[in-house]
Amino acid sequence: MMLRGLWKLTWIELKIFLREPLGAVGTIVVPVLVFLVVGRLLGRGLAPSALAANTFIGVGLPVLASVLIAVSSVLSLVTIISIYREGGILKRLRATPLRPQTILSAHVVVKLLLTAATLGLMLLAGKRYYPVCVHAPLFGFTIALLISTWSVLSIGFLIASIVPTARFAQPIGAFIMYPMIAFSGLFVPVVLLPPAMRAVARVLPLTYAVSLLEGIWKGDAWSSHLGDVAALVVVFVICTAISAKVFRWE
């Protein structure tokens, strides 16, 4: 019964999202285009051997693009939840037999679907125009990105539970999420950071997401990244537990 509600709600929320002006364009088309343009500009004229040697184009850029997709879906989730709360939509949904977790799950599923779709398109397009994609394990990487997004979305819930109004949701979310990218080891490997920053990086969930994504992209076995997956699961459990306590419906 509740599964039927979850399925219906997810499907409707997905349709509603795609009806938003810039909904599909902003989430799917723009990241794919940016990825292609940057990849072509940087990769032009480099021999394949040089591409492999250049870790930013070879590994950093695809992972950065993926992390940006994840972060943008978190920000979008934070905004939607706060708009729904401010407009009384959450309250109206709660005055039904719907369980709160069903309502929230529907949004998570929508975000995961959009993330997977964006990534899929990015990689398909990349296979043609962007040589490093050819050898990347697409299926494994998609799974890694879904696990990362799912975990990072729980941070989104925590932010959404705390921000007072919809107006603040997007800036506060961005203020929390974007610095995480700087610390995540994407630009400077975590081991090379000064000790204080390294300590910060170790507690930020995005660090583990980046480590997992880079590893899988480079062809590492999942067994060597179980620690990253475990860390992401722990983040999910903690954030979900806290937001369940402090979540406000109105």
Partner 1 sequence: MGPVIQVVGVRKTYGATVAVDEVSFEVKDGEIFGLIGPNGAGKTTTMECIEGLRKPDRGSISVLGLDPFRDVYKLQDRIGVQLQQAQLQKRIKVWEAADLWASLYQKKAIDAERLLKQLGLTEKRDAWFMNLSGGQKQRLFIALALINDPEVVFLDELTTGLDPQSRRAIWELVRGIRERGKTVFLTTHLMEEAERLCDRVAIIEHGRIIDIDRPENLVKRHCPERTVILATDDPAAEERFRAIPRVEAVNRSDSQFTIRGRNDDLVTEVIHCLSENRIRVTDFRTILPNLEDVFLKLTGHSIRD
Q: Which residues bind partner 1 (CB under 8 A)?
A: 1, 4-5, 8-9, 12-13, 15-16, 19-20, 84, 87-89, 91-92, 94-99
Question: Residue 180: in which H helix or E strand, if any?
Answer: helix 166-183
The separation between the first and the last C-alpha atoms of the chain, rounded to the nearest angstrom, is 26
CA distance 95 to 77: 22
Measured from the CB atom, is 21 or 195 closer to partner 1? 21
Residue among 108, 83, 14, 13 nearest 91 (CA): 83
Measured from the CB atom, is 10 or 161 closer to partner 1? 10
CA distance 242 to 161: 9
CB of 97 to partner 1, least distance (A): 5
Measured from the CB atom, is 106 or 155 closer to partner 1? 106
Chain-centroid distance of CA 119 in Å reads 11
CB of 18 to partner 1, least distance (A): 9
Measured from the CB atom, is 48 or 88 closer to partner 1? 88
Full DSSP string of 85-113: HHTTHHHHHHSSS--HHHHHHHHHHHHHH
CB of 84 to partner 1, least distance (A): 8
CB of 148 to partner 1, least distance (A): 28
Measured from the CB atom, is 1 or 196 closer to partner 1? 1
Residue at token pair 């975990």: 151
Question: Can you read off the two tokens belonging to residue 163?
Answer: 């921000």
CA distance 15 to 1: 22
CB of 33 to partner 1, least distance (A): 25
